[in-house]
Amino acid sequence: QVQLQESGPGLVKPSQTLSLTCTVSGGSISSGGYYWSWIRQHPGKGLEWIGYIYNSGTTYYNPSLKSRLSTSIDTSKNQFSLKLSSVTAADTAVYYCARNNRSGWFDPWGQGTLVTVSS
Amino acid sequence: DIQMTQSPSSLSASVGDRVTITCRASQSISNYFSWYQHKPGKAPKLLIYAASSLQSGVPSRFSGSGSGTDFTLTISSLQPEDFGTYYCQQSFSTPFTFGPGTKVDI
């Protein structure tokens, strides 16, 4: 079955750019009908949807992060990526990648990766 | 943005108990609604989609109901492996939003 795995630095300095990659296995990221999302969870808090990218490169971002966010997709590597610029301590969170369909439910999810913003 | 609220925020129950968690949306979302189970250090798991459809592989003791603004997740007979935090989510409109979670202790 499809599995997702996040990777990237666990520590980012304030004002720098947070970069994460999600590797998809067990299925093609080019499969029609699926969107590839990023979701985060601040320590002790709930879940916040960051945005998604489609295999065509079409994106939709949460307006709260849109000005600092960019995502990309590499179908040859079956990966998609997130870049969040000008990070602050408020961006410290566990970041998850997930697949969603057109109806918007997320399945499956990656295990998540903790990113800490600190000098 | 559509706001999601859940109640209770936490509960403690015994094995075999019937457990009910409710979620309310700030506006009608039809059945663009799902439930997730999240255990520490693990990937969140989709339990229910389209408000009442059981995801493949999820035990039948889990069920969902509701439409519009009010939704319910029921665990008919709580099992030890059901501990964790349960989140609701709306996908009626972007940005997709989640409820604050309900922590279930056994």
What confidence category does residue B106 fall into, taking pLDDT thresholds of 50, 70 and 90? confident
Burial A71-81 (b: 16+ CB within 10 A, else e): bebeeeebbbb
| Contact check, Cβ <8 Å, A106/B100 | no
**B62 vs A: CB within 8 A:** no
Q: Please give the pLDDT value at position A44.
A: 87
B46: nearest CB among A62, A105, A112: A105
Strands A34-41 and A93-101: antiparallel
Residues in chain B, how many?
106
Q: Which structure tokens are listed for A84?
A: 């969040």
CA separation for the pair B71, B92 (Å, rounded): 14
Of residues B23 and A31, more confidence is placed in B23
| Contact check, Cβ <8 Å, A110/B43 | yes
| Contact check, Cβ <8 Å, B44/A63 | no
**B98 vs A: CB within 8 A:** yes
**A59 vs B: CB within 8 A:** no
Residues with Cβ within 8 Å of A31's Cβ and at least 6 positions away in sequence, in order, are A55
Q: Residues A14, A20, A23, CA angle at the centre, nearest 5°?
A: 170
Q: Please give the pLDDT value at position B88.
A: 98
Q: Which structure tokens are listed for A26?
A: 């067990």
Q: What is the pLDDT of residues B59-102, one digit of tens each?
A: 999 999 999 999 999 999 999 999 999 999 999 999 999 999 99
Q: What is the pLDDT of residues A54-63, one digit of tens each?
A: 988 899 999 9
pLDDT averages per 10-residue partition of chain A, 119 residues: 96 98 95 92 93 92 95 95 97 97 93 97
Q: Please give the pLDDT value at position A78.
A: 95
Q: Please give the pLDDT value at position B80.
A: 95
Average pLDDT rounded to a whole number, residues B40-55: 95
H-type helices in B1-106, by residue range?
A: none
Q: Please give the pLDDT value at position A31.
A: 82
Average pLDDT rounded to a whole number, residues B7-18: 96
CA separation for the pair B33, A30 (Å, rounded): 25
